[in-house]
Amino acid sequence: MSDNKGYNEVSVLIVGAGPAGLASAIQLKAKKPQIDVCVIEKAADLGNHNLSGAVLEAEPLHTLLDSAVPEWQQSDNAKEVLEKKVKKEKVMFLLGKKWSINILFAIKLAKMLSLGPGQMLHKGDYIVSISKLTKWLGHIAKGLGVEVLTGFAAEDIIFDESANRATGVRLVDQGLDKEGNKQPNFIEGEIISADFVVLAEGCDGLLTEKFIEKAKLQRYSPQLYSVGVKELIKVSPEQYEKFGCWRVVHAMGFPLWTPIIGPGMFGGAICYPGTDDHISVGVIVGADWKYCDFNPQDALTNFKQHKFVKQFIDGGTVVEAGAKMIPEGGYYAIPRDAKTGSIGKGNVMILGDSAGLVNMLKIKGLHLAIDSGIQSANAIVEIFNNPRAAALKYTELIDQSNVAKEMKSAKSFRQTIAKFGPLLGMPFSVFGGLLPKFKVEEDYKAMTAARYKLKGKQNFDKDTFTAMAAAEHREDQTSHLTILDSDICKTRCTPGFNSPCITFCPAGVYETVNDRVTPANPSNCLHCKTCQRKCPFDNIRWTVPEGAGGPRYKRM
């Protein structure tokens, strides 16, 4: 293997410049500076497609940066991105639109008794913008000599099963028109060849899912998802001070579930402080909701109108907004090779959210994503001359790391709630890793004709929301969204479920045109992939559009 190949032939190709992929790249350069590493990212700029709460456990990031750039704490970027640490926290149970109880005492008690929910305490963690964190990690990676290519979207992984190795990935064709015809600016998607392929695309990655199929990886239980919608709100200095710039609030209950009246959806909400009088508010909803007219943005509106939240944000201005899915299936939804248990196969490793590495007792995966990046790099360095041993070595290192420990601690958490509902499932969750193994069905199968009772009178203003996400695609390219059978929409879904994609898509992509449901506004797409996982007939496929399209998050 040569050390200086062109970008279309590299030793290590990392798909996705999020925290997992960039951690892998940085650790590789720290351990073996002469190795050539290329990271490809579909977004136009680093951080544009990254959205999270986010509260970040410091240890994996410190471990990574201490070895790669020992002077990192002195940099202006570090001071800006890691400016805030959690000093105070509240865990609120919201009852109806007015009442709330701080149940932090119960979480502290759980911690004292070593029960699962005790993991929800965050004192000492960083409060970060994942878009800014990603941008910063990208600069570090570039500084260490990593080739970071933004605007490079990949559509396939070339995997030779008999040889047990991937030879590379194929980029998306650029310059096709809406009908798929080649335009004068057409560029055929190149193949980037690599000795090692690291899949770090985030949740529900296109290449990852194709690879799982090609390599016949299996999940014991299907991946389950939640949908998160978030707004960054500029508030008055008085409101910001009242909220507290070092305080995080996690909430559960209204408007997703309450002990007496329902509506019985799993999920929660957050309020985190940003800088310069900004507060982030967000709602995360388990994608196994049953209401065909439910839209997570309605839940966000309800949450913002709750008396406890309203006091901090009333009169504020939304300056940025976005949506994404989170993989929640936990330990039993990690894709593995049936024979060896490896998370990946041959020379291909699956990292972070792509592998479903989220600790559901914390509803956090950012620290696990970075840790998995470190482990993947360590694996490559250890078996550098034997690429086909990469997935096995990576899995061995993951199993010895905190990643496996945390994933095991919350083994059946989400499946328990999917099976028994939040009312019974949440109390069971205190038993964490002691819960038995459950298989559950995919989220989309949970949809019914039932209606969400707490829906507001007015439709959510999706146009403004989408504008705040700054989503953009080249308008006249081939749509990256496909409805497989539009007759199903017309004859079964619209009469039975009232075409839920029109309601739940946060960007208003789907509309009824000439009596047919269609992805009429693909250029609004936020790449959250909710439609692919929540259409009740599994009738939508999301593929990657041309590079550089999508949302442009700056402070999410």
Residues forming contacts to ligand SF4 in the complex (CB under 6 A) are 481, 483, 488-489, 493-494, 499-501, 505-507, 509-510, 517, 525-531, 535-537, 539-540, 542
> 416 CB contacts (<8 Å, ≥6 apart)?
425, 428, 429, 435, 438
In terms of Cα–Cα distance, which of 365, 390, 344, 1 is closest to 157?
A: 344
Packing angle of the helix pair 19-31, 366-382 (nearest 10 deg)? 30
Q: Which is nearer to ligand SF4, 322 or 432 (CB)?
A: 322
DSSP one-letter code for 448: -
The answer to whether the CB of 316 falls within 8 A of the CB of 239 is yes
Give the nearest distance from C-beta 215 to ligand SF4 in angstroms: 25
Give the nearest distance from C-beta 243 to ligand SF4 in angstroms: 29
Give the nearest distance from C-beta 149 to ligand SF4 in angstroms: 23
Q: Which is nearer to ligand SF4, 117 or 508 (CB)?
A: 508
HEC assignment per residue over 278-337: EEEEEEEEECCCCCCCCCHHHHHHHHHHCHHHHHHHCCCEEEEEEEEEEECCHHHHCCEE
Give the nearest distance from C-beta 352 to ligand SF4 in angstroms: 19
The answer to whether the CB of 153 falls within 8 A of the CB of 41 is no
Give the nearest distance from C-beta 495 to ligand SF4 in angstroms: 10
Residues 52, 42, 378: CA angle, nearest 5 degrees: 75
The answer to whether the CB of 130 falls within 8 A of the CB of 115 is no
Residue with tokens 């002469």: 34
* Rounded distance between C-alpha atoms, residue 173 and residue 190, angstroms: 8
Give the nearest distance from C-beta 519 to ligand SF4 in angstroms: 6
Give the nearest distance from C-beta 168 to ligand SF4 in angstroms: 26
Q: Which is nearer to ligand SF4, 245 or 488 (CB)?
A: 488
* Rounded distance between C-alpha atoms, residue 266 and residue 510, angstroms: 25
In terms of Cα–Cα distance, which of 510, 550, 537, 508 is closest to 201?
A: 550
Q: Which is nearer to ligand SF4, 191 or 520 (CB)?
A: 520
User: Which residues pair with residue 160 across a beta bridge?
Assistant: 165
* Rounded distance between C-alpha atoms, residue 379 and residue 382, angstroms: 5
* Rounded distance between C-alpha atoms, residue 399 and residue 401, angstroms: 6
Residue with tokens 């290449």: 207
DSSP 3-state assignment of 53? coil
Q: Which is nearer to ligand SF4, 401 or 532 (CB)?
A: 532
Give the nearest distance from C-beta 475 to ligand SF4 in angstroms: 15
Q: Which is nearer to ligand SF4, 356 or 500 (CB)?
A: 500
Residue 335 CA to chain centroid, in angstroms? 16
Q: Which is nearer to ligand SF4, 191 or 488 (CB)?
A: 488
Give the nearest distance from C-beta 227 to ligand SF4 in angstroms: 9
The answer to whether the CB of 409 falls within 8 A of the CB of 58 is no
Give the nearest distance from C-beta 498 to ligand SF4 in angstroms: 9
Q: Which is nearer to ligand SF4, 198 or 531 (CB)?
A: 531
Q: Which is nearer to ligand SF4, 201 or 337 (CB)?
A: 201
Q: Which is nearer to ligand SF4, 403 or 501 (CB)?
A: 501
Give the nearest distance from C-beta 397 to ligand SF4 in angstroms: 33
Q: Which is nearer to ligand SF4, 303 or 542 (CB)?
A: 542
> 141 CB contacts (<8 Å, ≥6 apart)?
22, 25, 26, 29, 39, 148
Look at the alpha carbons of 289, 293, 296, 299 in this order and tell me if their dihedral is positive or negative: negative
